[in-house]
Amino acid sequence: MKVIESFLMGRMGYDYLCEDSIFINDNYVAVIDGATQKSGVKIDGVTPGRSISETILSFLKTAPSKLSGEDLIREVGDYVQKRLLIPNGINKTDEHSPSASIAIVTIDTLKITIVGDVQSMINGSKSVRIKKFDEFMGEARSLYIKMLIADGRFENNGLDIGRETIMPWLGMQHVLRNNPNFGEWSYGAIDGHKVDKMHIEEISINIGDEIVLCTDGYPTINASLALAESELMHYLEKDPLRIYDVPSTKGLEKGNISFDDRAYIRIII
């Protein structure tokens, strides 16, 4: 395995506040997207998203070399439960319960295991994952802001009034996480609890394949870091509110350099 390029950057411009992570060793290559919580609660002085991201990194450093698929996700979940949730008295129903999306390449088994909305590309072929809930909320926020603009009542004063409007929904989305009872509205994430197999994607790869993994800090996945960064800069300039081409649950916050934390890696197996 050869790393062609990789990049990690926090939305505020500081790596130490970034909730995304990249992991590389002889056994695994992974991209982790720690979910930003809405409660403001911190765990050992850091956000829940960064806390679970660091916990998954710790797991991968000592994980057996051939884990993939459901076995890998079960082991990661058990580790998060024992090392993060139990010591901090966190329950699944807590609003600040940490969660993360992941994509992990297992070198020995030639598999990519994905839970959540981390994007992937194999030899130029994109595989896009979108949470139905995020898509719905993004469209709702976009429509509300467009209506305010059309009515002459929108003030671009740094307060994301669209996000504030959908915040009660966003604060409840943990109820959908790893909950198959909600059908198509359910979504998978690493949170220290069982991830239903419907939310675990396992992709076979081959020696010589070129693999790209990136978090949703990039509006779409691209074949090179330069293209990914160029497209992101385009959206930051042309649609900082994120209400047009790729509607989102949040726009560019005042003081931030981007919409979200972002991680990108391109490798050859």
If you average pLDDT over residues 95-99, what whole number do you get? 88
If you average pLDDT over residues 104-127, what whole number do you get? 96
The token pair at 219 is 């509006």
Task: State the pLDDT at residue 231.
Answer: 97
Q: Which residues are CB-neighbours of 168 under 8 A, at least 6 positions away?
A: none
Task: State the pLDDT at residue 16.
Answer: 80
Task: State the pLDDT at residue 260.
Answer: 96
Read off the CATH number of the domain in which 99 is found.
3.60.40
If you average pLDDT over residues 232-257, what whole number do you get? 95
Task: State the pLDDT at residue 93.
Answer: 79
Task: State the pLDDT at residue 40.
Answer: 76
Cα–Cα distance, 70 to 195 (Å, whole number):
9
Residues 168-220 have pLDDT tens digits of 999 899 999 999 999 999 999 999 999 999 999 999 999 999 999 999 999 99
* Residue 228 clears pLDDT 80, i.e. is over it: yes
pTM of the model as a whole? 0.95
Task: State the pLDDT at residue 82.
Answer: 97
Residues 134-169 have pLDDT tens digits of 999 999 999 999 999 999 999 888 789 999 999 999
User: For the chain, what is the domain count?
Assistant: 1
Cα–Cα distance, 269 to 267 (Å, whole number):
6
Cα–Cα distance, 85 to 75 (Å, whole number):
15
Give the range of the structural domain holding residue 49, as residue numbers without chain letter: 2-268
Residues 13-68 have pLDDT tens digits of 988 889 999 999 999 999 999 998 777 788 988 999 999 999 999 999 999 999 99
Task: State the pLDDT at residue 141.
Answer: 98
Task: State the pLDDT at residue 41.
Answer: 85
Q: Which residues are CB-neighbours of 149 under 8 A, at least 6 positions away?
A: none
Task: State the pLDDT at residue 163.
Answer: 96
The token pair at 22 is 């990249």
Task: State the pLDDT at residue 266.
Answer: 98
